[in-house]
Amino acid sequence: MQGYFFWRILILKYIIFDLEWDNFYNYKTKNSINEIIEIGAVKLNDRLEIVDTYKQLIKPRFLKKLSKRCADLTKISYDEMVEGGVAFEKAIDDFKKWSAADDETVYLSWSMSDMYALAYYYSVIFGNCRIDFIKHFCDAQQYCTVYVPTDKRHGNNQLSLAYCAEVFGIQTDTEKLHRALMDCYVTADCLKSVFDKDTFSKYVNDCDNVFFERLLYKPYLIVNPHTDIFDIDSVVLRCPECNSVLNGAGDVAVKNKAFSFATKCNKCNKPYWAFVRAKKTYDKVEVKQKLIVMNKRKAKHYQ
């Protein structure tokens, strides 16, 4: 609760940023890189009034050309980037100076994807993912979604910026969206239309080392049944009929990155196929399990 009251008192300045990027595949290292091609930002005071803007094209470092999708979406040309862009190192340094951020400044972007792209590309260029001048961050999409009626949220799908603006009754020029600065203006309008300082403060993250490490961590599915971080024998399965603990895993097979094996409830005398999937996240192992009753032909083999 201390952090909550801290933000109620000290939030004074907000910086909304947006990035445009294109994907580059490095055949030597066999990995893909989202190369940032434009940074846009708006600076808001404590009354959510825009007091300054920032816009900068980035000179390509890896890209030899823009993908058709990126060029069509952003209306940015490769020649424009080469002629009017600056190196990412200079752009991020200029952005830092322009931000003039202090310990109370909160950065925002529409969804975590921009923050992820910035931290990842920053790590590619500088060798570490900690962006030292960003102390606090809020996912504007996550915050604004709270104010979108449930029947308009399209299930669990993330809301696009254009759709959220439409729901909030904000006029947008869809032809100009997907340029960094214009997206910042629309995000600012969405934020202002539903802003509540007390609620907003609950969505502000402290950007310490753990924040950036967690952001870039890539979860993976565990495919070895016996490791230091996961052991299939430690998974407790219960009978859906009587809630008794089922027999432990016998011969374990791995298919589609999931463990499968036969098990049985001794109380109900009912055999099951068990399916277990274990995923390693930044700080824990998430385990999901599913039981399917064996058909009679298979069940005879396990009686």
> Per residue in 202-220, pLDDT tens?
999 999 999 999 999 999 9
Q: Which of 186, 217, 248 is the last residue of a domain?
A: 217
- Residue 226 and residue 212 in one domain: no
- Residue 181 and residue 252 in one domain: no
- Residue 49 and residue 182 in one domain: yes
- Residue 63 and residue 164 in one domain: yes
pLDDT of residue 30: 79
pLDDT of residue 171: 87
- Residue 207 and residue 231 in one domain: no
- Residue 195 and residue 279 in one domain: no
Which pLDDT tens digit goes with each residue over 239-275? 999 999 998 777 899 999 999 999 999 998 889 999 9
Q: Which of 217, 235, 254 is the last residue of a domain?
A: 217
- Residue 288 and residue 152 in one domain: no
* Mean pLDDT, all residues of the chain: 90
- Residue 250 and residue 132 in one domain: no
Domain that holds residue 275: 221-301
- Residue 118 and residue 245 in one domain: no
Residue 48: CATH number of its domain = 3.30.420.10
- Residue 6 and residue 69 in one domain: yes
Work out the percent of the chain whose per-residue pLDDT is above 70: 92
- Residue 6 and residue 100 in one domain: yes
- Residue 230 and residue 102 in one domain: no
Q: Which of 217, 240, 255 is the last residue of a domain?
A: 217
The residue ranges of the chain whose pLDDT is under 50 are 1-11
- Which two structure tokens, joined as six digits, stand for 166? 């439409």
pLDDT of residue 120: 96
- Report yes or no: 207 and 213 within 8 Å, Cβ to Cβ: no
Give the count of domains, the chain.
2
Global pTM exceeds 0.75: yes
